[in-house]
Amino acid sequence: MALRALARVNLAAIERNVISLRSRLSGGAELCAVVKADASGHGAVPVARAALAGGATTLAVATVGEAAELRAAGLTAPVLVMGAISAEELPVAVAARTEVVAWTERFVDQLADAAAGPDPIGVHVKLDTGMGRLGTRHTGEAFAVADLVTTRRPRLELVGAMTHLATADGDQEFVATQLAAFAPFADELQQRVGRVRLHAANSAATVRTPASHFDMVRVGIALYGCDPMNEDPDNVGLEPALELSSYVAAVKLTEPGQSAGYGRRFVAERATWVATLPIGYADGVRRGLSNNFEVLIDGRRYALVGTVSMDNVTVDLGSARPSGPAPDVGVGSPAILIGRSGGQRQTVEDMANRLQTINHEVLCGISARVPRHYHRDGTPAAG
């Protein structure tokens, strides 16, 4: 189907990625599927369902609004809100029966006051072992938080202890330092309050560092078949789930000296066929890709030339001969920006590396204007 911009998401690939990742977990650890930021643009609800079908046992998001969206769709699995929750946002967390993260006694008091309903709100205490963002750096404060949670039964229940790794995709020495701080804290905590679920690993640690698996891993980017090290999904045996496409809406002969796009950043040196694809930076094809990316059409690679504009990009289809034939590529041909065409492949990481960023940011940048179509290995699926 020719749509000006389209993101096709293969839910079967997500399910297989979860199965593959679970098979690598040490000691029976569970997999928590991190579906924040609308599952990095893939669609939180369909991705959550696919991840649960693949054996994920918990879902995680960053915000209470994201948790409420999962509940509104009828998902009943445990949902952990990993981000900070303000006092104003607490009623949403309570209504959605989410699990939450705590690192101050003040927050625990506010939560206990807001908590209502038949079941306790599950709380994970967070120790900051080196990320330097959320969580407490002080084990004493973490123990105090845990103790307070246990005294606020039956409104609250301590269900987990966690930390977050700053360099899981890089410096393994620092990963070891963080784990060496977390493990004795977790032991002592469990002596005080009993068994809770311990978790530290993101995707990179899940793939690289079995010692970080504990009772649960929190996997985001790897669900989508992206490489947590931002190089190549093949390196980690994962299947990219998302294809971003457009189509050839116009082809025109560009004579020497004629140009394409704002600022005339492409000026033809020889007669050239130039195609226009109606996709642009408002869809997530960032302006930094101007004269700096390729698209796949009919199994061949073509250079993106000129400035990426809000709604269009232009592509060099090759030189034109005077009174020669029209180019092989015709109006209506599908054009792949991320995905496969014939034997050619272009990954989210390829786009990210051209932009000197990471796969997460590319995926989060695919805008709401781009329709998402769901399928399972080519068979249309419900979103």
Site for ligand PLP, rule CB under 6 A: 34, 82, 164, 202-203, 218-222, 228
Q: Known catalytic residue: 262? A: yes
SS3 state of residue 183: helix
| Residue 46: CB minimum distance to ligand PLP, A | 17
| Residue 39: CB minimum distance to ligand PLP, A | 10
d(Cα 149, Cα 101) in Å, to the nearest integer? 11
| Residue 82: CB minimum distance to ligand PLP, A | 4
Q: CA 359 → CA 17, 68, 182, 221, 283, distances in Å?
A: 17, 26, 28, 8, 16
Nearest to ligand PLP of 127, 279 (CB atom): 127
d(Cα 12, Cα 31) in Å, to the nearest integer? 17
Nearest to ligand PLP of 227, 294 (CB atom): 227
Catalytic pick among 36, 224, 281, 374: 36
Written as one letter, the residue type at 314 is T
Name the residue whose CB lies closest to ligand PLP. 220
Nearest to ligand PLP of 94, 221 (CB atom): 221
Q: CA 230 → CA 6, 113, 235, 356, 381, distances in Å?
A: 23, 43, 10, 11, 29
Q: Which two tokens stand for residue 89?
A: 């946002």
Phi, psi of 201 (to 5 degrees): -85, 135
| Residue 6: CB minimum distance to ligand PLP, A | 24
Catalytic pick among 224, 262, 302, 374: 262
| Residue 5: CB minimum distance to ligand PLP, A | 24
Residue 218, Ramachandran bin (φ over 0: left; ψ between -120 and 50: alpha; else beta): beta
Q: Strand 197-201 and strand 266-267: pairing? A: unpaired
Active site residues: 36, 262
